[in-house]
Chain A
């Protein structure tokens, strides 16, 4: 899932301070699970903004609400009229949600209430870890299920580098060396010999370097069009 983290209230205030009527709009899926931008955090941000507004003598009105997702129109379309009552929507969805909603909110600007951080997993309550870089060209079958793109600080395809030390990365001793983990894991799986094969230079055009990506599932798309025609 997508993991986000809260922005500081100063940063948010500087974004929103010139607006009169602000809606903090929560997204109740990924960013709720990581306690960054669900209904509860939207309420927290709204309260903090009202308190800041009171401190500053601003007449700003701030409320909060939320829907299940900002990245699918069916979730927010029913409340679109309500959304348009505001001068500003501060979306606490991930960047996807902010982009998507912004393109559909007419004259109402949509600003980001959180920072979208990474694709991650929940190790335990309150502990989120980045495990995938979304590079568009997955090699996990070659690397023991450990992503070198995002878990290696240098995104090396043929690691480790000389900076590995006691299983840790030279960037920080708090970071595991991904290639150390890969080797250990592949030993365990009995597939260490696969590492003898040198991986070619990667085609990064599948990643964010080749412009915005889009995936269209033809059979779903066609069915939708047929139904529209019928």
Chain B
């Protein structure tokens, strides 16, 4: 009863999607390796429209659930809120949306019809392989996955510890892809169970996405023998519950994210004394800062700026690692080139040492294959086509790009799927692969920063370190509805703001005069600078030529949906028909309800409401129209109240000329922290309208 017309909104979002492609991206979207439209799904979260949020996320990211747990979120680093207070918590919001949409997602899975009589073999089911399989299945190809492990997911399943990525979370992404109808061959190791030539013979094209499956070791004395482990075999033992043999004192060599996984896993295997040693200082370490902080919380000691020299043993037993002081890690060109003070050495005692200094690809399966390898044993491939020297054999992901993030590997998977499709179709590949390198809007100007309300980022809850070290259970709890809503409200909607139709603009300067952020500059017509615009929408209703629309949530399109929203009005009704315009960021609040006779129109901010919207609602049959504003500090924009108020007053004057009671249009204020407040203020308003009487119309348009 109180829902908007989703059909129309669907058309609206299709239009918005197309429009956004013609404009610079928001920094979060541009920073995402697959250009996820963060702003769009955050907007849906704010409205409690989780299925649509899921669709936005999943449309570009087949490893969405994985990313919701482990993504290094370059979107957050790029968020323009960084210059105001703290970035939007994008990853936790993604997790929230996906958890909320779980049922929708499960029910949506279905077989994709095989429309193409061609088959593709994909070797490896990590982020890159899985993404390519997803895309190729969507295109109607018959796809077979070859995976050496007993389960799909590559490193996600076999190396990322479950406290970071619970397996059931990963399974969500895998199930999405497999349900499309994909042949799966697990425990099938290329070069052992089957050769590349065999696979090539079976398929019209082959994608090699085997990642970096080998751990690098160190050429130092004492490295051979018991008590010294390599990262990947160790993590695989953890993943497959094979209980690696550890002593009482574990030392992890390395300062990257995998080293963090190793050290923190060792803690969870019951080792109380876990230490790490790395070449870099705390600032230079490649591991993400939050990983380091969490490891330290868990009681892990990090020795910075020491380089491994020799593993000391007594007999066969490891006693510790002799290290020498690091003088510098990088040369003047920021290239990795460590130098040491050979005279300053020490011994870090340990009975188990795990070497975590990087990974490399295992290319042994290319022996005797038509794929050429370079002098270092790496496959020769062309990054512009993803094809190797062997026709129809493609490469993607870290096996060719080197170490990176899961989502970057997924981007590579998308590109390789397109490459394969073009190859099969006999079309040119070079120049036709998707690029994720997009123009973006620049940083917030200083004077705009000063005008933005400060709002602290909503913190996530972590289990206490001692509890989380006792198992591999995920220690981070996601947001609840209220937290997600609050956090979603922090998004500034960068790039989603005002645009001018040059054909309608008469350069009247109204927008320039009223914009609180100085975004419009009028010369021969108005140009609204996206880096200044905060998408409040205050300008659009004042434009006399109706030349301004908003990229996201243009109210004028919602105006057209009002007749269907109000629907048929029963002339014998007992309760008045009320139309309530309210902030979309609060429609999703827990406990949000409205009385049955109130039809809601969620808008990005009530600052976008025009006199014509209010009139239209009355024309469509409403007995009363409410503009429900959020109370006090919860509005993310400053100083819009007076203008919204003036529009309501003007509307009262206009309906007064028709002999209608001015009280039929009102501004209401609701405490946005409490969903029921909207119900209460609307119910009160409805009562007042009932006293004014129900409008009897002889005909209604």
- Interface, chain A (partner B; CB < 8 A): 8-10, 28-29, 32-33, 35, 38-41, 43-44, 47-48, 50-57, 59, 66, 68, 122, 124-125
Interface assignment of B619: CB less than 8 Å from any CB of chain A:
yes
Name the prevailing secondary structure of the A interface residues. Answer: helix
Residues of A close to B543: CB separation below 8 A? 40
Bound form: Cα–Cα A124–B509 in Å: 10
Residues of A close to B615: CB separation below 8 A? 44, 47-48, 51
Chain A: CB-nearest residue to B543: A40
Q: B698, A57: Cβ atoms under 8 Å?
A: yes
Residues of A close to B657: CB separation below 8 A? 8-10, 48
Residues of B close to A40: CB separation below 8 A? 543-546, 610, 612
B1 to chain A, nearest CB (A): 23
- Given contact pairs A44-B612, A54-B697, A55-B659, enumerate 13 new A-B contacts (beta carbons under 8 Å): A10-B657, A32-B506, A35-B510, A38-B546, A50-B619, A54-B698, A54-B699, A55-B698, A57-B698, A57-B699, A66-B545, A122-B509, A125-B514
Which 4 residue pairs across A and B have the least CB separation, nearest first? A38-B544, A57-B698, A32-B544, A33-B508
- Interface, chain B (partner A; CB < 8 A): 504, 506, 508-510, 513-514, 543-546, 610-612, 615-616, 618-619, 654-655, 657-659, 697-701
Which of B504, B545, B654, B698 interacts with A44 by CB under 8 Å?
B654
5 contacts across the A-B interface (CB closer than 8 A): A8-B657, A28-B504, A47-B612, A47-B615, A51-B615
Q: B545, A32: Cβ atoms under 8 Å?
A: yes
Chain A: CB-nearest residue to B696: A55
- With A10-B657, A54-B700, A55-B658: A38-B545 Cβ-Cβ less than 8 Å: yes
Name the prevailing secondary structure of the B interface residues. Answer: loop
Residues of B close to A29: CB separation below 8 A? 506
Q: B544, A51: Cβ atoms under 8 Å?
A: no
Chain A: CB-nearest residue to B513: A125
Residues of B close to A43: CB separation below 8 A? 546, 612
Residues of B close to A68: CB separation below 8 A? 506
B524 to chain A, nearest CB (A): 13
Q: A59, B619: Cβ atoms under 8 Å?
A: no
Q: B504, A39: Cβ atoms under 8 Å?
A: yes
Q: B658, A51: Cβ atoms under 8 Å?
A: yes
Residues of B close to A125: CB separation below 8 A? 509-510, 513-514
Residues of B close to A54: CB separation below 8 A? 619, 697-701
Q: A28, B506: Cβ atoms under 8 Å?
A: yes
Q: A51, B618: Cβ atoms under 8 Å?
A: yes
Q: B544, A28: Cβ atoms under 8 Å?
A: yes
Chain A: CB-nearest residue to B621: A54
Residues of A close to B514: CB separation below 8 A? 125
B592 to chain A, nearest CB (A): 30
Residues of A close to B510: CB separation below 8 A? 33, 35, 125
Bound form: Cα–Cα A10–B656 in Å: 11
Which of A10, A44, A57, A122 interacts with B611 by CB under 8 Å?
A44
B172 to chain A, nearest CB (A): 47
Residues of A close to B504: CB separation below 8 A? 28, 39
A166 to chain B, nearest CB (A): 32
Chain B: CB-nearest residue to A32: B544
B516 to chain A, nearest CB (A): 13
Residues of A close to B612: CB separation below 8 A? 40, 43-44, 47
Bound form: Cα–Cα A68–B506 in Å: 8
Bound form: Cα–Cα A55–B658 in Å: 9
Which of B508, B618, B619 interacts with A32 by CB under 8 Å?
B508
B657 to chain A, nearest CB (A): 4
Q: A33, B544: Cβ atoms under 8 Å?
A: yes
Chain B: CB-nearest residue to A52: B658
Residues of A close to B616: CB separation below 8 A? 47
B576 to chain A, nearest CB (A): 17
Q: A41, B544: Cβ atoms under 8 Å?
A: yes
Q: A39, B546: Cβ atoms under 8 Å?
A: yes
Q: B544, A39: Cβ atoms under 8 Å?
A: yes
- With A9-B657, A33-B508: A50-B701 Cβ-Cβ less than 8 Å: yes
Residues of B close to A57: CB separation below 8 A? 698-699
Chain A: CB-nearest residue to B659: A55
Bound form: Cα–Cα A29–B545 in Å: 8
Residues of B close to A124: CB separation below 8 A? 513
Residues of B close to A51: CB separation below 8 A? 615, 618-619, 655, 658
Residues of B close to A55: CB separation below 8 A? 658-659, 697-698
Residues of B close to A32: CB separation below 8 A? 506, 508, 544-545
Bound form: Cα–Cα A76–B271 in Å: 83
Bound form: Cα–Cα A38–B618 in Å: 22
A134 to chain B, nearest CB (A): 21
B609 to chain A, nearest CB (A): 13
Q: B658, A28: Cβ atoms under 8 Å?
A: no
Residues of B close to A9: CB separation below 8 A? 654, 657-658
Bound form: Cα–Cα A66–B501 in Å: 14
- With A54-B698, A54-B701, A125-B513: A48-B654 Cβ-Cβ less than 8 Å: yes
Bound form: Cα–Cα A43–B504 in Å: 15
Bound form: Cα–Cα A56–B514 in Å: 38
Bound form: Cα–Cα A47–B655 in Å: 11
- With A28-B506, A39-B504: A47-B545 Cβ-Cβ less than 8 Å: no
Bound form: Cα–Cα A35–B546 in Å: 11
Chain B: CB-nearest residue to A11: B657
A31 to chain B, nearest CB (A): 8
Residues of A close to B654: CB separation below 8 A? 9, 44, 48
Residues of A close to B546: CB separation below 8 A? 38-40, 43
Bound form: Cα–Cα A66–B543 in Å: 14
A46 to chain B, nearest CB (A): 9
B417 to chain A, nearest CB (A): 46
Chain A: CB-nearest residue to B654: A48
Residues of B close to A10: CB separation below 8 A? 657
Residues of B close to A59: CB separation below 8 A? 699
Bound form: Cα–Cα A205–B185 in Å: 99
Bound form: Cα–Cα A48–B543 in Å: 19
Which of B504, B545, B618 has the most chain A CB within a 10 Å cutoff?
B545
B202 to chain A, nearest CB (A): 62
Chain B: CB-nearest residue to A59: B699
A63 to chain B, nearest CB (A): 10
A103 to chain B, nearest CB (A): 24
Bound form: Cα–Cα A45–B252 in Å: 76
Residues of B close to A53: CB separation below 8 A? 699
Residues of B close to A44: CB separation below 8 A? 611-612, 615, 654
Chain A: CB-nearest residue to B612: A43
Bound form: Cα–Cα A125–B654 in Å: 20
Residues of B close to A50: CB separation below 8 A? 619, 701
Q: A39, B658: Cβ atoms under 8 Å?
A: no
Q: B697, A33: Cβ atoms under 8 Å?
A: no
